[in-house]
């Protein structure tokens, strides 16, 4: 079955839909049992698709969990109230005091902060590594290294990692691998197919797709799913049935949305790569992006997210650009139907292992607006940018 077809059918068995097209929206805290035998049966199968207690999920949650596990090719999927919660709780489920984590230097900022501000206080140490390190990561492994965490492409600067090379080393040393797959989303990249143990996504982005729900998902292999499921449960992680329903609704159109985001972003990135103010584009499908060769080898496609590195700039130019734009709104997150822009004068404060030797970075999320309208908008915005140099 092709992935586009799978997205339409996943999680839609009759036990979830009761005969209509979409899974039933089942809100619950308490589940009531008819008799003791039924209660015991549910207790035995809790966490495995039996209704037991609201925090363990309802039919609506089970449908989403099954669909995402299928999309990512894993044994099961845990749901969280945000992508950040998915990352924090996936890590917490597998590390204890005295353990060590290898974290790529281009991590999503709250992931880095979680290691530095929370895990450090619990006796878990973190070493940051160059995302382009590949098999060289072996030199950073300590006796107590428990997890190698990847995010590919990296946040804002978009370095694509040599995932198989890192996984090989991890397997030799019995280290768990996790990957923030928010960019790859299961359609364009499936980490578990490359030997990664746990694939995490901010479902907030392309799965939900409409900028109206916060949610995180974490998919594990057969080996790690029972621990991830149980520990996330013990950490109190769950999300509302309404949000699970919204995520399922978003999932159905993800492939067509992504195809349009990808096509428009490629056109705009190509145009920007020739722009006289732009040093280079950080779009995984372009040779100027670090790790482009791994993107070509491992990914099925790209999406609406990429960055441009400016030749020169200053804060006034960046602010002038943002304020001049009509269709690109300034705001965090991405993966919704709308275009967004964020700017960074330098990446230095967010990079401890690799530094930053280039100019300012402008990150764009290309939405579903007409692509020529977006190019016109950027054309006039960049004229304002130039007026501040
Ligand atoms: C947005 C994002 C997250 C966090 O997701 P939230 O749902 O906003 O908490 C994690 N990783 C990456 C790569 C992201 O872009």
Q: Which atom of ligand 1 is nearest to the CA of 203?
A: 7
Give the contacts of 29 (CB within 8 A, at least 6 positions apart).
53, 54, 55
Largest CA distance in the chain: 75
Give the contacts of 2 (CB within 8 A, at least 6 positions apart).
none
CATH topology of domain 254-387: 3.90.1150
Measured by CA distance, the residue closest to atom 8 of ligand 1 is 83
Residue of 146, 205, 252, 282 marked catalytic: 205
Cα–Cα distance between 209 and 258 in angstroms, integer?
9
Cα–Cα distance between 126 and 111 in angstroms, integer?
11
Cα–Cα distance between 183 and 199 in angstroms, integer?
11
Q: Which CATH architecture has domain 3-252?
A: 3-Layer(aba) Sandwich (3.40)
The predicted pLDDT at position 45 comes to 87
CA of 5 to the centre of ligand 1 (A): 27
**Residue 117: active-site member:** no
The predicted pLDDT at position 287 comes to 98
Each residue's pLDDT expressed in tens, for the chain with a length of 389 residues:
899 999 999 999 999 999 999 999 999 999 999 999 999 999 998 877 889 999 999 999 999 999 999 999 999 999 999 999 999 999 999 999 999 999 999 999 999 999 999 999 999 999 999 999 999 999 999 999 999 999 999 999 999 999 999 999 999 999 999 999 999 999 999 999 999 999 999 999 999 999 999 999 999 999 999 999 999 999 999 999 999 999 999 999 999 999 999 999 999 999 999 999 999 999 999 999 999 999 999 999 999 999 999 999 999 999 999 999 999 999 989 999 999 999 999 999 999 999 999 999 999 999 999 999 999 999 999 999 999 99
* Fold match, 3-252 / 254-387: no
pLDDT tens figures, 63-122: 999 999 999 999 999 999 999 999 999 999 999 999 999 999 999 999 999 999 999 999
The predicted pLDDT at position 231 comes to 96
**Residue 205: active-site member:** yes
**Residue 108: active-site member:** yes
User: Which one of 333, 334, 340 would you pick to mutate in the ligand 1 pocket, going by the greatest count of ligand atoms within 8 A of its CB?
Assistant: 333
Residue of 16, 80, 108, 245 marked catalytic: 108
Q: Which atom of ligand 1 is nearest to the CA of 333?
A: 1
For the chain, strand residue ranges (E) read 76-80, 100-104, 125-129, 145-151, 176-180, 198-202, 216-220, 278-282, 305-310, 329-330, 340-344, 361-365
The predicted pLDDT at position 242 comes to 98
The predicted pLDDT at position 263 comes to 98
Residue of 99, 105, 162, 180 marked catalytic: 180
CA of 201 to the centre of ligand 1 (A): 7
CA of 82 to the centre of ligand 1 (A): 8
Residue of 27, 40, 55, 171 marked catalytic: 55
Q: CA torsion, points 101, 292, 168, 353, in degrees to nearest 10?
A: -30
Q: What is the pTM of this model?
A: 0.97
- The domain ranges of the chain are 3-252, 254-387
The predicted pLDDT at position 341 comes to 98
Which residues does a 6 A CB cutoff place in the pocket of ligand 1? 82-84, 108, 151, 155, 180, 182, 202, 204-205, 214, 216, 333
């Amino acid at each position: 079955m092709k992935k586009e077809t799978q997205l339409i059918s996943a999680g839609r068995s009759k036990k979830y839909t009761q005969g209509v097209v979409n899974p039933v929206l089942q809100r619950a805290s308490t589940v009531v049992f008819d008799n003791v035998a039924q209660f015991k049966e549910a207790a035995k199968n809790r966490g495995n698709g039996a209704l037991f207690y609201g925090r363990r999920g309802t039919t609506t949650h089970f449908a989403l969990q099954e669909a995402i596990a299928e999309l990512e090719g894993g044994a099961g999927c845990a749901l969280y109230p945000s992508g950040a919660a998915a990352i924090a709780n996936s890590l917490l489920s597998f590390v204890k005091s005295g353990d060590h984590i290898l974290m790529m230097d281009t991590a999503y900022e709250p992931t880095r902060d979680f290691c530095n501000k929370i895990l450090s206080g619990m006796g878990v140490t973190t070493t940051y590594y160059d995302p382009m390190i590949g098999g060289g990561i072996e030199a950073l492994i300590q006796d107590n290294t428990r997890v190698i965490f990847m995010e590919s492409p990296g946040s804002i600067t978009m370095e694509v990692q040599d995932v198989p090379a890192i996984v090989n080393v991890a397997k030799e040393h019995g280290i768990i691998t996790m990957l923030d797959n928010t960019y790859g989303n299961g359609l364009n990249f499936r980490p578990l197919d490359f030997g990664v143990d746990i694939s995490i996504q901010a479902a907030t982005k392309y799965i939900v797709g409409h900028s109206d729900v916060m949610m995180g998902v974490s998919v594990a292999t057969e080996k790690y799913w029972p621990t991830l499921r149980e520990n996330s449960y013990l950490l109190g992680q769950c999300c509302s049935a309404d949000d699970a329903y919204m995520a399922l609704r978003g999932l159905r159109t993800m492939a067509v949305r992504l195809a349009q985001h990808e096509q428009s972003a490629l056109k705009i990135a190509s145009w920007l790569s020739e722009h006289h103010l732009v040093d280079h584009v950080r779009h995984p499908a372009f040779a100027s992006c670090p790790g482009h060769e791994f993107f070509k080898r491992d990914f099925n496609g790209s999406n609406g997210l990429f960055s441009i590195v400016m030749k020169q700039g200053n804060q006034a130019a960046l602010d002038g650009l943002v304020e001049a734009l009509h269709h690109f709104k300034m705001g965090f997150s991405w993966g919704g139907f709308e275009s967004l822009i964020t700017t960074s004068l330098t990446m230095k404060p967010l990079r401890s292992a690799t530094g930053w030797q280039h100019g300012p970075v402008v990150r764009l999320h290309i939405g579903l607006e007409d692509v020529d309208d977006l190019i016109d908008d950027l054309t006039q915005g960049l004229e304002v940018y130039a007026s501040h140099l």
